[in-house]
Amino acid sequence: MKNQKPIYLDGNATTPMDPRVLEAMLPYFTHRFGNPSSITHAYGWEAEAAVKQGRQILADAIHGSPEEIVFTSGATEANNLAIKGVAEAYYQKGRHIITVQTEHRAVLDPCKYLQTLGFDVTFLPVQSDGLLDLKELEQAMRADTILVSVMAANNEIGVLQPLEKIGEICRQREVLFHTDAAQAIAKIPLDVETMKVDLMSLTAHKIYGPKGIGALYVRRRNPRVQLAAQIQGGGQERGKRAGTLYTPQIVGFAKAVALGLGELESETKRLLELRSQLLADITQIPGIHLNGHPKKRLPGNLNVSIEEVDGSALLLGLQSVVALSSGSACSSASTEPSHVLLGLGRPAPLAYASLRFGIGRFNTVEEIHKVAQFARATIQALRQSYAG
């Protein structure tokens, strides 16, 4: 008998592709294979039309314009393009950048790289609920500040930052505002106008789309954002990102966004119910701590720390029934405790002993009950083994 795979609850790391997304992509791998830059024949026109439609869908999703969408290989590249691209374009105006200690490594590491080039970066702390203190942001602003980068939704604890208020603070001081919205696109409403966002990083694989495709929104007016390209070559994407556009992935990305927005209200309600049930089930035993704001978070995210257990032993004990992680998938092999949970003020033992549940489109009530029941039993067994 074939071994059954564990229940997948790691939706903040990646998601399975929705069959409807795959169906939309398949023709562009085979008979619609043209290069969208080849505009002298029908094959190229067909691909160009698909890319144009995809660009429009993404722009509409965040209330931007198609010309403001730059396709990338994912959110990591989009973050690098935004942060390094702005730094290179505006270094004569200033060399001070502000970000947050709990950002994804795809933001923190480019910022640390810029420090080696002479830029000054302020890494703001967060409050115990994961939210940024806006007064601290205002106090960190300087005459030479050129960029503020704050993620829309945290990849570990799901906390939603107040983008509209942050955007207002930045706009009043004529400082560019970048947000990593990899976890937020098609999961919560996004509006670059009301949020006064100047650059926004996006990706497909967190929303049941393909891996290897992302985008960067770059504002074209009020203000017009200057950006230094980080990849030179064929001049694609209006010179901001060279390389042949990957038509199948773009089609898949757009389809995933369209599906997510079309089902946003009903799916949000369903995920909130599943998350509430999981939290209620798992906290039937003592010593379970919710990480992050209880309400201002992604509907499918639940992150908890558990007292009196070893984190590695806990994950090992759970892996036969449920696939999840203790933090960011990008650093899941690290032996260090989560920098996000340490940023919340969690002591190292609790930061080690944490579980991130990413509930998704294909999870069921029955799965949630099964996982909670097994998690409780595993935690209790570990505690008893330590006591014994």
Please list the active-site residues.
330
Q: Do residues 247 and 51 touch, judged by C-beta distance below 8 A?
A: yes
Q: Do residues 216 and 197 touch, judged by C-beta distance below 8 A?
A: no
Q: Do residues 152 and 124 touch, judged by C-beta distance below 8 A?
A: no
Could you tell me the CA-to-CA distances from 64 to 68, 194, 258 in Å, in that order?
A: 7, 11, 15
In which residue are the tokens 């940024």 written?
132
If one counts every other C-beta atom within 10 angstroms of the C-beta of residue 221, the result is: 8
Ranges of beta strands (E only) in 181-335 are 199-203, 214-218, 288-290, 301-306, 322-323
- Crossing angle of helices 42-62 and 247-262, in 10° steps, is 30
Q: What is the distance between the terminal CA atoms of the chain, rounded to a whole angstrom?
A: 36
Q: Report the DSSP beta bridge partners of residue 252.
A: none
If one counts every other C-beta atom within 10 angstroms of the C-beta of residue 60, the result is: 15
Q: Nearest CA to 370 among 268, 310, 281?
A: 281
If one counts every other C-beta atom within 10 angstroms of the C-beta of residue 149, the result is: 25
Quote the CA–CA distance of 281 and 276 in Å, as a whole number.
9
Q: Which two tokens mark 354? A: 């944490």
- Alpha-carbon dihedral sign for residues 173, 174, 176, 177: positive
> 289: Cβ–Cβ under 8 A, 6 or more apart, which residues?
304, 305, 306, 307, 346, 350
